[in-house]
């Protein structure tokens, strides 16, 4: 392919808003995902470049392109921020996360709080979570059950890193727990003890019927052994009593079928309220360590309200979109156009546009937008170069000849979305992409548009 090649496709649409089967990928670069719904919006709290960032969207699957705000970036007194969780409690917003205080090499729990109607506007106040002991503590979450409120976290029993357990305590207020530390789970099965240290972490609570489901992650998050286990209890029980919890002897989700190291999940209800989705991360390739992306999948229950175990869904297998979420317009490449097309088993179509090896090369799709409004644009891509080159390149996205800021890409063994949001008028538009460098060859599968 020479450096002046331009690839253009008018694409193929099946029907307007006709795509109900979609990929399970949500965020091409993220870990420890926490998404919650409040009112008409979903909120996604994550760490980006060492800062606590909050994103908002009306949909689950385009939330990586949602409106965003940095709600904490002061690392003078704390650093190495992990796993923020946003909760709305007693009329105010709270974000719980772990960090290392100055002079320490272990993590403790902190909480940001805001009484603003709009959490993206703040202001936010930082404090240590009162009532915790001085030992390692991460991944704190809140459980409101039958009028009682509990805090659940992962931590050490002592001061050495040999085992992470799950602990629970009653909450005195959203920023303070009771002076208690009650063990409810420790690694015991082989799938919880596949690494050293042995690990239970990442608790997430989902109530279904009269059952409290407490999903958690087991074994090392940096390995393909990472998986999701399940504890259950009855809603009318005292959850601070360890005897009320039952543990499944096998994971409910583990590596397989092209998904590696699934874990650290959250739960969220679909836009129409009829479906529960699990939001989780997995590594972007086999033995990918902390190079992770975020995915979703539906959850099912047995007659007692317990989460049923689930098989991994291959990355290139399309699944039902969250129920009530908007249909998408999907554009494939045009087979009759003179393109550089290669067979590719990881793509949805079985083929891929190959190249973008020079900034002068570009790929364009002519799309037909049915109505004015905000639209999320999904560009499904995979870097084709060796995974030890983790820098990726940057995509420059042109909408009708106007270039957006460059969007960084990451390496992955499966296709993932670059998602941007644009205000588009009804009618024809040209969407083009090219790269800013010659670092990595790209594979492109298709693009999608979804209205807000």
- Euclidean distance between the first and the last CA atom of the chain, given in angstroms as a whole number: 37
> What burial letters (b/e) apply to 296-314, b meaning 16+ CB within 10 Å?
bbbbeeeeebbbeebebbe
The CA-atom distances, in angstroms, between 445 and each of 285, 312, 342, 347, 382 are: 18, 22, 11, 6, 8
Does residue 339 fall inside a structural domain?
yes
Q: Identify whether 158 is part of a domain.
A: yes
The pLDDT value given to residue 233 = 98
Question: Are 310 and 283 within one domain?
Answer: yes
The predicted model gives 14-31 an average pLDDT of 80
Q: Which of 90, 32, 81 is nearest to 52 (CA)?
A: 81
Contact 3, 358 (CB under 8 A): yes
Considering the entire predicted model, what is its pTM?
Answer: 0.94
Give CA–CA dist 249/332, Å, rounded.
Answer: 44
3/43 Cα distance (integer angstroms): 42
* pLDDT-derived band at 360, boundaries 50, 70, 90: confident
- Whether 367 and 449 have beta carbons less than 8 Å apart is answered as yes
pLDDT at 435: 84
- 439 labelled catalytic: no
CB distance 214 to 204 below 8 Å: yes
Q: What φ, ψ does residue 233 adopt, rounded to 5°?
A: -150, 170
With a cut of 60, say whether residue 114 has pLDDT above it.
yes
Of 289, 320, 351, the residue that ends a domain is 320
Cα dihedral 166→170→173→174 (10° resolution)? 20
Q: How many residues does the chain have?
A: 452
* Per-residue pLDDT at 446 exceeds 90: yes
Of residues 349 and 379, which shows the higher confidence score? 379
Task: Examine residue 433 and state whether it is found in any structural domain, yes or no.
Answer: yes
CB 337 within 8 A of CB 303: no
CATH code of the domain covering residue 75: 2.115.10.20
- Please indicate, yes or no, whether residues 443 and 369 belong to a single structural domain of this protein: yes
Tell the residue number behind the tokens 């109607």, with chain if given: 117
Q: Which domain holds residue 443?
A: 6-17+327-451
Residue 149 maps to a domain? yes
Question: For 28-49, what is each residue's pLDDT tens digit?
Answer: 999 999 999 999 999 999 999 9
Task: Look up tokens 């772990």; give the residue.
Answer: 98
- Please tell me which residue, 240 or 393, carries the higher pLDDT value: 240
For residue 61, give every residue at least 6 positions away whose Cβ sits within 8 Å of its Cβ, in sequence order, or none.
22, 26, 296, 321, 322, 325, 450
Q: 255 and 391 share a domain?
A: no
Contact, 383 vs 412, CB < 8 A? Answer: yes
Do 286 and 338 belong together in one domain? no
Q: Is the pLDDT of residue 70 over 60?
A: yes
Looking at the structure, tell me whether residues 239 and 352 fall in a common domain. no
Residue 1 lies in a domain: no
User: Tens digit of pLDDT for each residue in 122-144?
Assistant: 899 999 999 999 999 999 999 99
- The catalytically annotated residue of 32, 139, 422, 445 is 32
Q: In the chain, pLDDT over 90 holds for what percent of residues?
A: 80
Choose between 363 and 216: higher pLDDT: 216
CA–CA dist 321, 296 (Å, integer) = 9
Please check whether residues 344 and 414 belong to one and the same domain: yes
Q: 16-25, 179-188, 421-430: which has the minimum mean pLDDT?
A: 16-25
What is residue 3's predicted lDDT score, i.e. its pLDDT?
31
Among 285, 320, 355, residue at a domain's last position: 320
For residue 391, tell me if it sits in a domain.
yes
Number of domains in the chain: 2
Pick the closest to residue 200 from 171, 224, 167, 233 (CA basis). Answer: 167
Residues 410-441: pLDDT tens digits?
889 999 999 999 999 999 999 999 888 766 78
Query: In this structure, are 240 and 161 located in the same domain?
Result: yes
Q: Give CA–CA dist 431/419, Å, rounded.
A: 13
Mean residue pLDDT of the chain comes to: 92
Kindly state the percentage of the chain with pLDDT values over 70: 92
Q: Is 192 annotated in the active site?
A: no
Q: Is residue 300 part of a domain?
A: yes
Structural domain includes residue 350? yes
Q: Are both 158 and 240 inside the same structural domain?
A: yes
Residue 193, burial from CB neighbour count under 10 angstroms (0-12, 13-18, 19+): middle
User: Do 167 and 97 share a structural domain?
Assistant: yes
Average pLDDT over residues 194-216: 98
CA 201 to chain centre: 17
pLDDT of amino acid 438: 65
Domain-terminating residue out of 301, 320, 339: 320
Q: Pick the residue with more confidence: 20 or 96?
A: 96
pLDDT one-digit tens code per residue, 384-413: 765 655 567 888 999 999 998 889 888 899
Which one has a higher pLDDT value, 74 or 380? 380
Tell me, what's the pLDDT at 14?
36
pLDDT grade for 336, boundaries at 50, 70 and 90 = very low
Of 305, 450, 292, 279, nearest to 375 (Cα)?
450
CB 445 within 8 A of CB 429: no
Q: What are phi and psi of 192, to 5 degrees?
A: -95, -10
Beta pairing, strands 148-155 & 137-145: antiparallel
Distance CA(182)–CA(239), nearest Å, equals 10
Question: Which residue matches tokens 């659940």?
Answer: 152
Distance CA 146, CA 216 (A): 21
Q: What is the mean pLDDT of residues 280-305?
A: 96
Q: Which residue has the higher pLDDT, 125 or 335?
A: 125
Report yes or no: 333 and 341 within 8 Å, Cβ to Cβ: yes
The pLDDT assigned to 357 comes to: 74
315 and 444 co-located in one domain: no
**Of the listed 19, 29, 62, 201, which one is catalytic?**
201
More confident residue, 1 or 84: 84
- The enclosing domain of 366 has a CATH number of 2.60.120.260
Asked whether residue 312 falls in the same domain as residue 352, the answer is no
Tell me which DSSP letter residue 356 carries: -
pLDDT at 386: 54
In DSSP notation, 289-319 reads: TT-EEEEEEE--B-TTSPBPP-PPPPTT--E
Cβ neighbours of 428 (radius 10 Å): 11
Integer Cα distance of 19 and 450 in angstroms: 10
Q: Are residues 332 and 248 in the same domain?
A: no
The predicted model gives 166-184 an average pLDDT of: 97
């Amino acid at each position: 392919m020479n450096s002046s090649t331009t690839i253009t496709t008018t694409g193929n649409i099946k029907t307007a808003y006709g795509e109900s089967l979609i990929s399970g990928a949500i965020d091409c670069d993220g870990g420890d995902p926490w998404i919650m719904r409040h009112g008409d919006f979903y909120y996604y709290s994550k760490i980006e470049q060492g800062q606590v960032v909050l994103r908002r969207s009306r949909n689950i699957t385009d939330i990586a392109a949602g409106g965003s705000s940095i709600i904490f970036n002061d690392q003078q007194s704390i650093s190495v921020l992990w796993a923020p969780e946003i909760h709305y409690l007693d009329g105010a917003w709270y974000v719980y996360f772990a960090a290392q205080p100055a002079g320490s090499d272990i993590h403790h729990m902190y909480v940001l709080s805001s009484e603003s109607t709009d959490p993206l506007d703040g202001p936010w106040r930082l404090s240590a979570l009162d009532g915790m002991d001085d030992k390692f503590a991460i991944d704190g979450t809140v459980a409101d059950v039958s009028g009682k409120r509990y805090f659940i976290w992962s931590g050490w029993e002592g001061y050495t890193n040999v085992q992470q357990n799950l602990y629970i305590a009653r909450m005195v207020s959203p920023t303070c727990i009771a002076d208690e530390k009650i063990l409810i789970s420790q690694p015991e099965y082989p799938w919880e003890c596949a690494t050293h240290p042995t690990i239970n972490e990442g608790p997430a609570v989902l109530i279904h019927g009269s059952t409290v489901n407490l999903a958690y992650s087991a074994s090392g998050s940096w390995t393909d052994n990472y998986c999701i286990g399940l504890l259950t209890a009855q809603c009318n029980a005292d959850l601070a009593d360890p005897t009320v919890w039952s543990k499944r002897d096998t994971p409910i989700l583990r590596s397989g079928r092209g998904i590696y190291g699934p874990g650290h999940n959250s739960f969220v209800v679909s836009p129409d309220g009829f479906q529960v989705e699990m939001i989780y991360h997995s590594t972007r390739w086999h033995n990918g360590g902390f190079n992770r992306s975020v995915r979703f999948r539906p959850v099912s229950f047995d007659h007692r309200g317990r989460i049923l175990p689930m098989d991994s869904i291959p990355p290139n297998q399309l699944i039902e979109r969250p129920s009530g979420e908007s249909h998408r317009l999907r554009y494939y490449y045009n087979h009759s156009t003179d393109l550089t097309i290669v067979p590719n088993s990881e793509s949805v179509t079985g083929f891929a546009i190959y190249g973008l090896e020079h900034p002068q090369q570009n790929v364009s799709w002519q799309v037909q937008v049915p109505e004015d409004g905000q639209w999320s644009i999904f560009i499904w891509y995979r870097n084709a170069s060796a995974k030890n080159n983790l820098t990726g390149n940057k995509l420059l996205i042109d909408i009708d000849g106007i270039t957006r800021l460059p969007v960084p890409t990451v390496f992955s063994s499966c296709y993932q979305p670059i998602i941007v949001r644009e205000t588009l008028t009804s009618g024809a538009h040209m969407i083009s992409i090219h790269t800013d460098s010659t670092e990595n060859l790209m594979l492109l599968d298709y693009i999608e548009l979804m209205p807000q």
